[in-house]
């Protein structure tokens, strides 16, 4: 009987050790978290709220239930944003921008407090639309095409400045697409066709002038030659006979 009790006690003690070990393992697993490469973490505490400390890559400790990490990707990420706006000459323009942006690491606690983890979704579409309207309104529709590089640089400058107000770093901005309304596009195409036709008409006029000038030069040359022959005949009657001999000789050479 005592032996059975001892075995039961050993089983209870063993089960207690196993349970304690399992609880300890679970506690450790919940107390540790990893920050991957290209990421940073901030800590939220149920007592003090968002902490100012920023955690770098690697393994870190937290107090289960009381603390949990908020992890941000701090690498530059591309985002395409399309916005319709109006040009200086009141033409509708659809612009698509490719924006490379990332959060300012030192301001991650502030970004979380004010914008949350989807900060780029909340901020970028709004400020891109704002900047595009301000910049595009300074250019006519035709200038947006001919001065595209200048327009892109101006958009980038203003977007970098505006994004910095929200502690977002803009690394690059580029115009990937620029289209106009169908009415304006049709008008531009018609203008190009008219210009090509005008250029062709001008070419034909210039060619006709050149041909007419060539005929005048040829006629003047023939008249001058006839005058010279006439003068030669009046001064030397044998000149005509000499010309006939030369002509006959040339015909004979051609026939042979």
Instruction: Give the tokens for residue 127.
Output: 């400020």
Q: Give per-10-residue mean pLDDT for the chain (256 aa).
A: 54 56 57 94 93 95 91 96 92 94 97 95 96 95 92 96 97 94 63 64 76 77 68 60 66 66
CA–CA distance, 107 with 223 (Å, rounded to integer): 93
Task: Say what the pLDDT of residue 181 is.
Answer: 77
How many other CB atoms are found less than 10 A from the CB of residue 166?
20
H or E segment to which residue 54 belongs? strand 49-55
Assigned architecture for domain 77-180 = 2-Layer Sandwich (3.30)
**3-state DSSP helix/strand/coil percent for the chain, to nearest 5?**
60, 25, 15
Residue 88 phi, psi dihedral angles, 5° rounding? -60, -35
Q: What is the pLDDT of residue 19?
A: 55
| Rg, the chain, Cα only | 44
> In this predicted structure, what is the pLDDT of residue 35?
95
94 closest CA partner among 48, 52, 126, 129: 129
Nearest-angstrom CA–CA distance, 107 and 105: 5
Domain ranges of the chain: 2-73, 77-180, 187-255
Q: What is the pLDDT of residue 209?
A: 82
Encoded tokens for 167: 């502690």
Residue with tokens 């595209």: 148
């Amino acid at each position: 009987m005592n032996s059975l009790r001892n075995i039961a006690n050993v089983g209870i003690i063993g089960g207690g050790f196993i349970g304690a070990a399992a609880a300890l393992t679970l506690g450790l697993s919940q107390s540790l978290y990893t920050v991957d490469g290209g990421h940073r973490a901030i800590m939220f505490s149920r007592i003090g709220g968002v902490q100012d400390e920023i955690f770098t890559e690697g393994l870190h400790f937290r107090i289960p239930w009381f603390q949990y990490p908020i992890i941000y990707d701090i690498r530059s990420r591309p985002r395409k944003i399309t916005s319709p706006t109006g040009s200086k000459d009141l033409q509708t323009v659809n612009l698509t921008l490719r924006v490379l942006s990332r959060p300012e690491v030192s301001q991650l606690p502030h970004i979380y407090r004010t914008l949350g983890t989807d900060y780029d979704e909340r901020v970028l579409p709004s400020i891109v639309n704002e900047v595009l309207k301000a910049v595009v309104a300074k250019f006519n529709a035709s200038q947006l095409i001919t001065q595209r590089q200048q327009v892109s640089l101006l958009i980038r400058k203003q977007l970098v400045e505006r994004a910095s107000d929200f502690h977002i770093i803009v690394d690059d901005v580029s115009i990937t697409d620029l289209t106009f309304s169908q009415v304006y596009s049709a008008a531009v195409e018609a203008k190009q066709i008219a210009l090509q036709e005008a250029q062709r008409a001008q070419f034909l006029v210039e060619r006709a002038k050149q041909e007419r000038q060539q005929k005048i030069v040829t006629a003047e040359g023939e008249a001058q030659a006839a005058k010279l022959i006439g003068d030669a005949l009046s001064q030397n009657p044998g000149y005509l006979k000499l010309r006939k001999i030369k002509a006959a000789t040339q015909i004979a050479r051609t026939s042979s």
